[in-house]
C-alpha cells in the first residue's frame, strides 16, 4: 500500500518523501520552489524539510490562506515572483498545502512559460483524498468556482498522513465529506465502513481507499468526457451553496460542509429522478446530518442559488446537469432535473 500508478504519474503513499529526495538529488531541475500558505508554512514546512534531511535548497513562495485567495490576482503575484527569481522552464514547483494551494499552484505551474513541472504534497484530508489527485488545476473568477484552469498532471503526488496531525477538526470533517462521496458513488461497502469510523481518527487505509477510488475514475476518464462526472455528485448544488455562503455568511462553510449539504439535496433528487430508494435517502441524510451542521436555506435565497448553478461547468446548452445515485454505491451522470425538483430539494433541507 505505498504506490498507485496513475496515467503519467505516481501517487506515493506514506513513503516518507523518500522518492522526492531522489528526484531532488537528481539535479534534473534548475531551481526548486515550494509554494505554501501562511498556515502550511508554519505547520508543515518544518516537517517537509526534516523528512528531506533538513533540506534548504529551495525558494519559498508564500500566500494568504483561504478560498478567497484562489484568484487571478494572486496568480499574477506568483508569476511575477517566479520571474524575479529568474525561474526558467526547467524549474520545479512543489505545492505544499491544501486544495487551494494544489489547485492554484498547479495552475500557476501549468501556465508559467507554457508549463513547468510541479509536485503536489497535500496537507489537508480534502486535498489528500481529492484535490491533489487527478490533474485538475484552477482558480475562481468572481463568484464562479474553478472557472479558469487546466487539466495538467503533476509529476508526482506524495500523500503523508502525518501532515494531518495539525489539521483542525473542522477541516478533517471537510475532507471526510469527499470520502463519504467516494463510498456513495462507487463502493457501498466502503460507505458502510465509514459509518463506523470516527472522522477524527481516520486510518491511513481509509484514506488510501479514497485515493484509489478517485484515481481509478480519473484514470479511466482524465478529461471528464463521461465517467469522471460522477465525482461531481453533491457538487452541483454544493458548489452553489459554497459560493452563496462565501458571500453571505460571516463564517462561511468549508468546501466539504457545503458538499455534504449538496449530497443530501442530490440524494433527494436521486430518489425523485433516479432509482435511489427512500430508505437509502433516509440513510444518507440522517448520517450526514449526524456529522455536519444543519444549514437552513431561506426561500428568498433560492433564486440566487439557481443563478450560481447556471454557471456550473457541467451544464450543457444552458441546462443544469446532475450526477445522481441509482443506489448507494452507484452513480449516473448527465441527469436532467426540473427546476421544481431542485427547489424541492432545497426545501427538503429545511
Q: How many CA atoms lie within 13 A of 233 on its CB side?
A: 31
Q: Is 43 in the site for ligand NAD (CB under 6 A)?
A: yes
Among the listed residues 58, 108, 136, 265, the single contact to ligand NAD using CB under 6 A: 136
CA angle at 127 for the pair 253 and 348, rounded to the nearest 5°: 35
Could you give the string, one character per residue 243-282, with x where binding to ligand NAD holds by CB under 6 A and - elsewhere?
A: ------------x---------------------------
Q: Is 236 in the site for ligand NAD (CB under 6 A)?
A: no
Nearer to ligand NAD, 130 or 280 (CB): 130
Among the listed residues 146, 219, 273, 301, the single contact to ligand NAD using CB under 6 A: 146
Residues in 13-42 that interact with ligand NAD by CB under 6 A = 37, 39-40
**Grid coordinates given for 136:** 485538475
Q: Is 65 in the site for ligand NAD (CB under 6 A)?
A: yes
Distance CA 335, CA 338 (A): 10
Applying CB under 6 A, the span of 16-24, 59-67, 150-158, 291-299 interacting with ligand NAD comes to: 59-67
**Grid coordinates given for 108:** 500557476
**195 sits in which H/E element:** helix 188-195
Which of 340, 307, 344, 19 is CA-nearest to residue 159? 19
Q: Which residues contact 314 (CB under 8 A, 6 or more apart)?
A: 229, 232, 236, 320, 321, 323
Distance CA 186, CA 98 (A): 25
Number of residues engaging ligand NAD in binding (CB under 6 A)? 31
Distance CA 266, CA 281 (A): 10
Q: Is 127 in the site for ligand NAD (CB under 6 A)?
A: yes
Name the DSSP letter for residue 254: P
Nearer to ligand NAD, 91 or 149 (CB): 149
Among the listed residues 48, 63, 95, 99, the single contact to ligand NAD using CB under 6 A: 99
Q: Is 101 in the site for ligand NAD (CB under 6 A)?
A: yes
Q: Is 171 in the site for ligand NAD (CB under 6 A)?
A: yes
Q: Is 124 in the site for ligand NAD (CB under 6 A)?
A: yes
Q: What is the CA radius of gyration of the chain?
A: 20
Q: Which residues here bind ligand NAD, judged by CB under 6 A?
A: 37, 39-40, 43-44, 65-67, 70, 97-101, 103, 123-124, 126-127, 130-131, 134, 136, 145-146, 163, 166-167, 171, 174, 255
Amino acid at each position: 500500500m505505498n504506490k498507485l500508478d496513475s496515467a503519467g504519474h505516481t501517487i506515493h503513499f506514506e513513503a516518507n518523501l523518500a522518492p522526492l529526495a531522489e528526484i531532488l538529488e537528481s539535479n534534473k531541475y534548475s531551481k526548486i520552489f515550494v509554494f505554501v500558505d501562511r498556515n502550511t508554512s508554519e505547520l508543515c514546512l518544518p516537517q517537509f524539510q526534516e523528512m528531506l534531511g533538513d533540506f534548504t535548497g529551495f525558494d519559498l513562495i508564500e500566500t494568504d490562506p483561504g478560498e478567497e485567495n484562489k484568484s487571478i490576482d494572486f496568480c499574477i503575484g506568483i508569476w511575477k515572483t517566479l520571474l524575479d527569481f529568474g525561474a526558467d522552464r526547467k524549474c520545479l514547483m512543489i505545492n505544499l498545502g491544501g486544495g487551494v494551494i494544489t489547485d492554484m499552484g498547479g495552475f500557476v505551474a501549468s501556465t508559467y512559460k507554457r508549463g513547468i513541472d510541479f509536485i503536489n504534497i497535500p496537507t489537508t484530508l480534502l486535498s489528500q483524498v481529492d484535490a491533489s489527485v487527478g490533474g485538475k488545476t484552477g482558480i475562481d473568477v468572481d463568484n464562479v468556482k474553478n472557472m479558469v484552469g487546466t487539466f495538467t498532471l503533476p509529476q508526482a503526488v506524495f500523500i503523508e498522513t502525518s501532515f494531518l496531525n495539525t489539521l483542525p477538526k473542522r477541516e478533517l470533517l471537510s475532507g471526510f465529506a469527499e470520502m463519504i462521496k467516494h463510498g456513495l458513488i462507487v463502493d457501498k461497502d466502503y460507505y458502510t465502513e465509514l459509518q463506523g469510523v470516527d472522522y477524527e481518527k481516520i486510518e491511513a487505509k481509509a484514506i488510501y481507499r479514497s485515493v484509489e477510488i478517485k484515481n481509478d475514475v480519473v484514470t479511466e476518464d482524465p478529461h471528464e468526457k463521461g465517467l469522471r462526472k460522477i465525482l461531481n455528485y453533491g457538487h452541483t448544488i454544493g458548489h452553489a451553496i459554497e459560493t452563496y455562503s462565501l458571500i453571505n455568511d460571516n463564517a462561511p462553510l468549508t468546501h466539504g460542509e457545503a458538499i455534504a449539504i449538496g449530497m443530501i439535496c442530490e440524494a433527494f433528487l436521486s430518489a425523485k429522478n433516479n432509482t435511489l430508494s427512500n430508505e437509502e435517502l433516509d440513510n444518507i441524510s440522517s448520517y450526514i446530518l449526524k456529522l455536519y451542521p444543519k444549514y437552513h436555506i431561506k426561500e428568498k435565497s433560492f433564486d440566487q442559488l439557481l443563478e450560481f448553478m447556471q454557471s456550473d461547468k457541467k451544464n450543457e446548452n444552458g441546462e443544469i446537469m446532475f450526477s445522481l445515485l441509482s443506489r448507494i454505491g452507484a452513480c449516473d451522470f448527465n441527469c436532467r432535473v426540473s427546476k421544481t425538483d431542485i427547489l424541492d430539494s432545497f426545501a427538503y433541507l429545511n
